[in-house]
Structure 1
Amino acid sequence: MSQVRTVSDTKRDFYTHHTRPINSIFRRVVEELLVEMHLLSVNADFRYDPFYALGVVTSFERFMQGYRPEADKVSIFQSMCQAIGGDANRYKEDAMALVELAKRCSGTQLIECFRQDMPPEGAQELWEKIEAIAKNDHFKYSRLFAIGVYTFLGESEPQLLEDTEKRDEMLTTVTAGLNLPEEKMKKDLDLYRSNLEKMNQVLEVLEDALAVERQRREKAEAEAKAKTAEATVATETNDEQKETSESGSDA
């Protein structure tokens, strides 16, 4: 019987693949997401699905906005997926395919897919995905799955998520159609939106601090250039005066 991997194993694998330091503001985001993915990957009831993939990709992209250097984000995401035995390309491709499916579905089709026992016209693919989850008695619900569903709804009908009352009604329909815990999903999504707002506030403060530092540095550089220019002019003036004086003495 193989030994279940621990969180420490996964973290060690991650830092083996991604060797560059991670900005302190984002390190907690990365490690919390990594731990969440790890705990799901070792759960006997967990099964990878496109909604979960979309939740992972969306969470990473939203919380890592503004990360510098930008190129390191690719390595971080790939290393996270590798550390839990996953494939970063599969996550991104499945997430993108689900987003494209959402854009092809109207709000009416979306709602009917969660309500009907038969697929609505033009929504066979989505209905089949929903049915597979609803009929799985051992389906492992997760916060990342909820974020994936939430993102899917927003891609299909953005206005559904803009109005609190409509959003709650839609989530009630969704959880009933998927046989998932409504209150748990709503609380998870409330926390997700709250954390995003907090992260955005942190990034705004950081950007303001960077702007102030940039202005200070530019001012210092301008002042240094001005002093250099003044010194150059003074030197040239002294040289000219010296030349004039020597020329007068020769005469």
Structure 2
Amino acid sequence: MFWIGDCFVNTIRTVSDTKRSFYTLHARPINSVYRRVVEELMVEMHLLSVNTDFRYDPLYALGITTAFDRFMLGYTPAEDKDSIFGAICRAVECDPQQVRSDADRARALTESTDGDAVSAWLRTERTFDGDDILNDLPGAIANNPRFKYSRLFAIGLYAFLTAADTALIEDEDRRRAALEQACEALSLPREKFEKDLDLYRSNLEKMEQARLAIEDALLSSRKQRERRQQERAAAESSGDTEASPVEEATDSSSEPSTS
């Protein structure tokens, strides 16, 4: 924001600016079932990036990569995923390599320890060797009354906790207890935190169901096409070389669209 003459000009990027930048950076079409996931992630990152209370940290980075990787599982063509992720990050003016690097560092750190150590770290009762940024993070969050909580931070913290103690994924009682301790240690809104994670897990299940439905439809379509080709080949070998118009029309439109 700046002044020109007697006018105050707002230079904060809009959601439209971010979307326009994304589709310039990644010009290939996005499969329809994933388009909403991509745009919601991008809009959420945009709104956080323009919030004056928001501060980037490794758990937020872990939340971004975890959400993207889980929701984009099975995306085709697979080689487009890196381009999409990079375009999302660059569209909100952050470095995709830095986001990946910070997320990987956080994940590797917690995978090398256990749930008790992570709980102690959250209470600032222990530190991890050689990572001052993460060591300072719990205190910086808990002592900041203006800390900008976000769903992506919640996903990152959840990924951090479950990497140290994988039993939390299946054991609801232990998971609830661990999340409650985390919220208390970091002064996070517990109800909001749990609601966001419940919705996240629910959406993952829905996305998996949609992905499996697409795979089943593609497999069924492929089998039907192969069967028609075999029938046509058998007819040609017996002297009946004309395929019916209905068969030709059905064959050309049998593959379900995913874009």
Fold similarity call, TM over 0.5: yes
Letter in 1 for 2:68: F
How far residue 120 of structure 1 moved from its aligned partner, in angstroms, is: 5.8
> 2:112 aligned with 1:88, yes or no?
no
2: distance between equivalents of 1:149 and 1:123? 20
Q: Deviations over 1:125-184 (max 9, x none)?
A: 554322222222321110000000001111111002321111110001101111111111
Native 8 Å contact 1:114 1:127 kept in 2: no
Q: Which runs of 5+ in 2 are unaligned?
A: 3-9, 241-259
1:201-232 deviations in whole A, cap 9, x for unaligned?
A: 11111111111101111112222333344449
Amino acid aligned to 1:119: R
Residue 247 of structure 1 corresponds to none
SS in 2 for 1:5: coil
Identity of aligned residues (%): 50
Contact 2:63 2:152 in 1 (8 A): yes
Q: Distance in 2 between matches of 1:203 and 1:156?
A: 28
Query: How many angstroms apart in 2 are the aligned matches of 1:224 and 1:153?
Result: 57
Deviation at 1:40, TM superposition (A): 0.3
Once the two structures are superposed, the pairs formed by residues 134-145 of structure 1 within 5 Å of their partners are 134-145=142-153
Q: Determine the C-alpha separation between the residues in 2 that align with 1:64 and 1:107.
A: 28
- Of the three residues 3, 15, 34, the one matched with 2:11 is 3
Q: Distance in 2 between matches of 1:58 and 1:114?
A: 20
**Is 1:19 aligned to 2:27, yes or no?**
yes
Matched, 1:200 2:208: yes
Aligned residues: 231
**Cα offset for 1:124?**
7.4
Q: Which residue of 2 aligns with 1:249?
A: none
Distance (Å, rounded) in 2 between the aligned partners of 1:107 and 1:13: 41
Given candidates 44, 49, 52, the residue that maps to 2:52 is 44
Once the two structures are TM-superposed, the CA of residue 123 in structure 1 deviates from its matched residue by: 9.5
**AA paired with 2:163?**
E
2:126 alignment partner, one of 119, 127, 130: 119
Task: Provide, for residues 47-80 of structure 1, a one-character-per-residue CA deviation record: whole Å limited to 9, x for no partner.
Answer: 1111111111111111111111111111111111
Q: Which amino acid in structure 2 is aligned with residue 136 of structure 1?
A: N
Structure-1 residue corresponding to 2:37: 29
Q: What pairs up with 1:1-251 in 2 under 5 angstroms?
A: 1=2, 3-115=11-123, 117-119=124-126, 126-231=134-239
Matching residue's letter, 2:126: P
Distance in 2 (CA, whole Å) between partners of 1:137 and 1:129 is 14
Q: For 1:165 and 1:127, locate their aligned partners in 2 and report how far apart those are by CA, in whole Å.
A: 28
Distance 1:89 1:197 in 2: 28
CA contact (8 A) 1:55 1:146 kept: yes
Task: Report if aligned partners of 1:105, 1:123 keep a CA contact under 8 Å in 2.
Answer: no
- The runs of 5 or more residues in structure 1 that have no matched partner are 233-251
Query: Hey, what's the Cα distance between the residues in 1 that align with 2:135 and 2:212?
Result: 41
Q: Which shows bigger deviation, 29-38 or 131-140?
A: 131-140
- Give the counterpart letter for 2:44 in structure 1: E
The answer to whether the 8 A contact 1:81-1:88 is kept is yes
Give the Cα–Cα distance (whole angstroms) in 1 for the partners of residues 147 and 193 of structure 2. 14
Cα distance in structure 2, aligned partners of 1:129 and 1:103: 18
Q: In structure 2, what residue type is equivalent to 1:173?
A: Q
Aligned residues of 2:59 and 2:153 also touching (Cα < 8 A): yes
After superposition, the C-alpha distances for 1:104-131 in whole angstroms (9 at most, x for unaligned) are 121211122223x432686975543222
